[in-house]
Chain A
Amino acid sequence: EVQLVESGGGLVQPGGSLTLSCAASGFTFSSYWMHWVRQVPGKGLAWVSRINPDGSTTTYADSVKGRFSISRDNAKNTLFLQMNSLRAEDTAVYYCVRSLLGKDDYWGQGTLVPVSS
């Protein structure tokens, strides 16, 4: 059974940093593009970042470019999102997603990151 389990969310002050993790199981993690997508509670979805299967190519939304960094450890089947210089507008539920927009698209349950003083 495919599983994506996000962790690392929690309250952080503006200007602070946080690292999210996504533990993958039930599939060959190293074969898939992985993405982070966020959702302000009660609002729409926003794509954050993606990384290719071997970790050599990354892409970011303009809203997080220069502040967030996506990475992966294929030996440990884990995806990461390092978030720096956090702002109130980064407050959201962050989802780890396998193969976004493809037939193997699969979402984790998300982790909440409130940014507030």
Chain B
Amino acid sequence: QSVLTQPPSASGTPGQRVTIYCSGSSSNIGKNNVCWYQQLPGTAPKLLVYGNNQRPAGVPDRFSGSKSGTSASLAISGLRSEDEGEYFCAVWDDSQSGVVFGGGTQLTVL
């Protein structure tokens, strides 16, 4: 069982907005900044959001992150077929003294 809880799957049609949620606790999301990763089939994870809501250079503004209390979310607007893949949240956990990940959400573009 992952320390951070994500829904196993999400879906949407092209052009739609989809939101993926990540639930944690006071020792991780409640205290530290959340990151989101995209993993396309057969590739390594790629950083989409850091610092709860910051995008690295090159990441489209269709991707946006937010955090409230012990939960975080990743919103993807203007959904495209190439967005299909797995999405993970991650954060430092003070209790475990390590990085913890969500179990991942498989996004399907219908």
Residues of chain A at the chain B interface (Cβ within 8 Å): 35, 37, 44-47, 50, 59-62, 95, 100-103, 105-110
Contacts and interface: CB of A to CB of B under 8 A. Distances in A.
Nearest to B91: A101
Interface stretch (B18-26, B40-48, B74-82): B40-48
Q: Majority SS of interface residues in chain B?
A: strand
A23 B44 CA distance: 16
B44 A62 contact: no
B71 interface: no
A107 B46 contact: yes
A44 B99 contact: no
A105 B91 CA distance: 13
B104 interface: yes
B96 interface: yes
Size category, B interface: 20 to 34
B103 A44 contact: yes
A105 B56 contact: yes
A56 B88 CA distance: 30
A105 B47 contact: yes
Contacts of A46: 101
Contacts of B92: 101
18 contacts: A44-B2, A44-B101, A44-B102, A44-B103, A46-B101, A47-B99, A50-B99, A60-B98, A62-B98, A101-B35, A101-B50, A102-B50, A103-B50, A103-B54, A105-B35, A105-B47, A106-B47, A107-B44
Contacts of B2: 44
A109 B45 CA distance: 9
Closest 3 CB pairs of A and B: A47-B99, A107-B44, A105-B47
Interface string B83-110: 0000010111000111111111000000
A60 B96 CA distance: 10
A109 B44 contact: yes
A101 B37 CA distance: 10
B51 interface: yes
